[in-house]
Amino acid sequence: MKNVFYFLIPSSFLITIIAGLFTSWLHRKITAKFQYRIGPRWYQDFVDAFRMFNRRPVFLKDSPASLFLLASALNFTAVMVVSIIVWFAVIAPQTAFAGDLIVILYLLNMPALSLMLGRIGRHARLMMAYELPFILSLLVPIILSGGIIKLADLHQFKQAGFSILRHPSLIFSFLAALVSSQAKLALPQFDGQAIETNIGSPEPIDYSGLALAVNKMASMVSLFVIPFFLTVVFLGAIGPRGAGSVPLVIIKTFAVVLLTIIIKNKGPMFKPEQSLRFLSGPVTAIAVISVILALLGF
């Protein structure tokens, strides 16, 4: 058991960072293609990450620098711990612990908290809107499986013939989770101020140097980790069972990433008030419908 831990933790850590940087590049490249541009080269995000970590941190005179460094570290650690829990659920289900799904839900709020500590209050309001449909949609697989809150068991249960193709409630809940995860990832869809070329963007100016690098790295990695988590929860059942499903889980994760990028580029852009209304209105309604369908056994 210990050997599995020693081997899996560093390797899943490394694989997640590489996958996160690759996903970030995919986002930039495909967005560029949507805008008739060439886009960055494949190694651009790795170079950017290296450069960011090499920059000297500069903090404002009276700002609590240690708080910003701590918030960034918390953000990155939370995302990495989520990725390790999900990797364990897929690769070594025997090592998973009970209630890891609830731990993941808690940890996925850390990036928003970190941004709030960096004086970006808009995430607090957005969080109120997207958190309810996200949690409601995650309830559906739990209800259908008869109350399993252990991700590894849920993954195995789904592999035993419990599929999104057979349960309409899972389709609705996956849609609600996908849309609310767009807001969770702070993509420009719902968080218009986060658009890359916005000159007046209230980006975290308190974060600089190492703090900014760690924060950016966390958001790059979460571009991979959240679709990975959604894949394991909702799409685990499509394809072969057992250990053979691991490569397929990765392929399905990148399919979800692709879906996210397409929604980001081709979907409507919401103003702050509109995004709050949309997330707490139709998206929450779809999540509630999916929960009712799940309770009825569909």
Closest by CA position to 91, among listed 35, 170, 8:
8
Q: Is 161 left (phi over 0), alpha (psi -120 to 50) or beta?
A: left
**By CB under 8 A, residue 201 contacts other proteins:** yes
Please, how many CA atoms are within 13 Å of residue 258, restricted to the half-sphere of its CB? 6
**By CB under 8 A, residue 258 contacts other proteins:** no
* Binds other proteins (CB under 8 A): choice among 8, 9, 30, 39: 39
**By CB under 8 A, residue 264 contacts other proteins:** no
* Binds other proteins (CB under 8 A): choice among 56, 61, 244, 266: 56
* Binds other proteins (CB under 8 A): choice among 44, 77, 159, 280: 44
∠ CA 37-183-131, rounded to 5° = 170
How far apart are CB 279 and other proteins at their closest, in Å?
25
**By CB under 8 A, residue 94 contacts other proteins:** no
**By CB under 8 A, residue 36 contacts other proteins:** yes
**By CB under 8 A, residue 208 contacts other proteins:** yes
**Contact predicate 133/283, CB 8 Å:** yes
> In this structure, how many other beta carbons lie within 10 angstroms of the beta carbon of residue 292?
14
Q: Report phi then psi at 287, rounded to 5.
A: -65, -40
**By CB under 8 A, residue 3 contacts other proteins:** no
Enter the DSSP assignment of 238: S
Q: Cβ closer to other proteins: 40 or 168?
A: 40
**By CB under 8 A, residue 48 contacts other proteins:** yes
Q: Cβ closer to other proteins: 29 or 167?
A: 29
How far apart are CB 4 and other proteins at their closest, in Å?
39
**By CB under 8 A, residue 197 contacts other proteins:** yes
How far apart are CB 68 and other proteins at their closest, in Å?
13
Q: Cβ closer to other proteins: 32 or 91?
A: 32
Q: Report phi then psi at 208, rounded to 5.
A: -145, 165
Token pair belonging to 224: 């991979």
Cα 135 to Cα 139: distance, rounded to the nearest angstrom: 6
> In this structure, how many other beta carbons lie within 10 angstroms of the beta carbon of residue 31?
16
Token pair belonging to 235: 């799409």
Q: Cβ closer to other proteins: 159 or 193?
A: 193
Cα 86 to Cα 228: distance, rounded to the nearest angstrom: 8
* Binds other proteins (CB under 8 A): choice among 37, 119, 166, 241: 37
How far apart are CB 111 and other proteins at their closest, in Å?
18
Residues near other proteins (CB under 8 A) are: 28, 32, 35-41, 44, 47-48, 52, 55-56, 58, 196-199, 201, 203, 205, 208, 212
